[in-house]
């Protein structure tokens, strides 16, 4: 039995952040790819909050589930190739004033005889707890009522981005299949469910678009998600794209066209496409 597909959000982002974190922490780019002829890259970290923040930086290993969830990878599974042993970065901790930016330099030291393929780990940015006088429970919340204990919780927000190291010849093929219309439910729009089928020794990354093509009338875009990846060694990723239909549009008597394309900055080439006929 397959796990429940992940429903893509329209504002999908490669950085794993909560809404509050997006307001306070900005990372650019949201993924790092170091090709065979490259040795280094940079990541810009910006404090968009209204107070100084300290972030601790580390390299961690993560894997992608069949539904696209990014989880801790301990221990490694067959076919997983991580980059943590060859990735070097500086600084390892940074304190930023509001509006201040810092460049994190990432370099790779490939060992001799490294096999061709793609190696991936994640650069993790964790906010460090504010250890100051004003975090004392009594100074913040006042003395607790007699016989009670005061508790103050401080949210620690973090983010991670993939660091991908490619060695030698790498390539990937992908097809889109298992298309199915998920009818609208209470409070939810209809969606197009589908699966990525990936092969090769390289991950894939691009944008998803869904177009409604009626028998009569002009095609119209009804769904879009930017920056969708399927990582090595995953051969399969299941997903759904919410559909936004123009007023008066009915999904009958036509077809849904699904396309997966390179990001515009990479050329925008269509990587894979599939269609679903709807009577």
Q: What is the pLDDT of residues 145-183, one digit of tens each?
A: 555 555 544 455 679 999 999 999 999 999 999 999 999
Q: What is the pLDDT of residue 134?
A: 52
**Other CB atoms within 10 A of residue 209 CB:** 19
Q: Within this chain, do residues 57 and 179 fall inside the same structural domain, yes or no? A: no
Neighbour tally for 131: CB within 10 Å: 8
Type and span of the H or E element at 83? none
Q: Residue 3 pLDDT more than 50?
A: no
Question: What does the DSSP assignment read for 127-165?
Answer: EPP--SGGGSHHHHH-SPPTT----------EEEEEEEE
CATH number of the domain enclosing 128: 2.60.40.10
pLDDT at 18: 37
160 and 136 in a single domain? The answer is yes
Q: What is the pLDDT of residues 239-271, one digit of tens each?
A: 999 999 988 888 999 999 999 999 999 999 999
Q: Identify whether 7 is part of a domain.
A: no
Mean pLDDT of 64-83: 91
Asked which of 140, 167, 194 is the last residue of a domain, the reply is: 167
Domain of residue 267, residue span? 172-278
Same domain assignment for residues 95 and 116: yes
Flag whether pLDDT at 120 surpasses 60.
yes
Looking at every residue in the chain, the average pLDDT score rounds to: 86
Q: Quick one: CA torsion of 129, 132, 133, 137, rounded to 10 degrees?
A: 0
Q: Pairing relation of β-strands 32-34 and 158-167?
A: parallel
Q: What ranges in the chain are assigned the alpha helix state H?
A: 19-24, 137-141
Domain endpoint, select from 115, 136, 167: 167
Q: Which of 135, 167, 199 is the last residue of a domain?
A: 167
Q: Judge if 149 and 183 occupy the same domain.
A: no
Both 130 and 228 in one domain: the answer is no
Taking the C-alpha atoms of residue 104 and residue 116, their distance in angstroms, rounded to an integer, is 27
pLDDT score for 125: 95
Mean pLDDT of 216-241: 95
Same domain? For 144 and 185 the reply is no
Cis bond upstream, residue 75 (ω within 30):
yes
Q: pLDDT digits over 93-112, tens only? A: 999 999 999 999 999 999 99
Q: How many Cα atoms occupy the beta-carbon half-sphere of 190 within 13 Å? A: 17
Q: Are residues 28 and 159 in the same domain?
A: yes
> What is the tally of helices (H) and strands (E) in the chain?
2, 19
Q: Does any domain span residue 9?
A: no
Q: Where are the beta strands (DSSP E) in 10-131?
A: 25-28, 32-34, 40-47, 53-60, 62-64, 70-72, 87-90, 93-96, 101-108, 117-127
Please report whether residue 3 resides in a domain: no
Number of domains in the chain: 2
Q: Are residues 30 and 153 in the same domain?
A: yes
Distance CA 194, CA 177 (A): 6
- Token output for 178: 């298992």
Q: Quick check: is 162 in a domain?
A: yes
Residue 188 structure tokens? 């939810």
Beta-bridged to residue 274, according to DSSP, are 258
Span 29-44, pLDDT tens digits: 999 999 999 999 999 9
In-domain check, residue 4? no
Within a domain: residue 2?
Answer: no
**Residue 5 domain flag:** no
pLDDT, residue 22, reads: 47
155 and 36, same structural domain? Answer: yes
Residues 144 and 229 in one domain: no
Task: Identify whether residues 41 and 156 lie together within a single domain.
Answer: yes
pTM comes to 0.82
Mean pLDDT to the nearest integer, 177-205: 94
Question: How many beta carbons lie within 10 A of that of residue 113, not counting itself?
Answer: 5
272 and 231 belong to one structural domain: yes
């Amino acid at each position: 039995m397959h796990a429940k597909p992940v429903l893509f959000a329209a504002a999908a982002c490669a950085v794993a952040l909560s809404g509050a974190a997006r307001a306070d922490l900005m990372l650019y780019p949201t993924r790092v790819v170091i090709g065979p002829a490259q040795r280094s890259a940079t990541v810009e970290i910006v404090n968009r909050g209204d107070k100084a923040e300290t972030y601790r930086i580390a390299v961690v290993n993560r894997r992608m589930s069949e539904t696209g969830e990014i989880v801790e990878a301990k221990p490694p599974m067959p076919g997983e190739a991580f980059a943590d042993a060859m990735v070097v970065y500086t600084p390892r901790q940074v304190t930023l004033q509001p509006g201040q930016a810092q460049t994190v330099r990432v370099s790779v030291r490939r060992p001799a005889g490294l096999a061709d393929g793609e190696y991936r780990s994640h650069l993790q940015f964790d906010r460090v707890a504010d250890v100051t006088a004003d975090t004392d429970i009594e100074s913040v919340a006042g003395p607790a009522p007699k016989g009670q204990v005061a508790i103050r919780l401080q949210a620690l927000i973090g983010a991670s981005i993939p660091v991908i190291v490619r060695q030698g010849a790498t390539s990937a093929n992908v097809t889109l299949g298992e298309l199915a219309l998920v009818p609208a439910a209470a409070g939810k729009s209809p969606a197009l469910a589908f699966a990525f089928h990936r092969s090769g020794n390289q991950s894939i990354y691009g944008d998803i678009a869904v177009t409604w093509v009626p028998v009569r009338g002009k095609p119209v875009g009804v769904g879009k998600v930017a920056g969708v990846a399927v990582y090595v060694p995953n051969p399969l990723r299941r997903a759904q794209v919410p559909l936004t239909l123009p007023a008066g549009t009915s999904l009958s008597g036509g077809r849904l066209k699904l396309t997966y394309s390179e990001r515009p900055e990479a050329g925008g080439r269509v990587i894979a496409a599939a269609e679903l006929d709807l009577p």
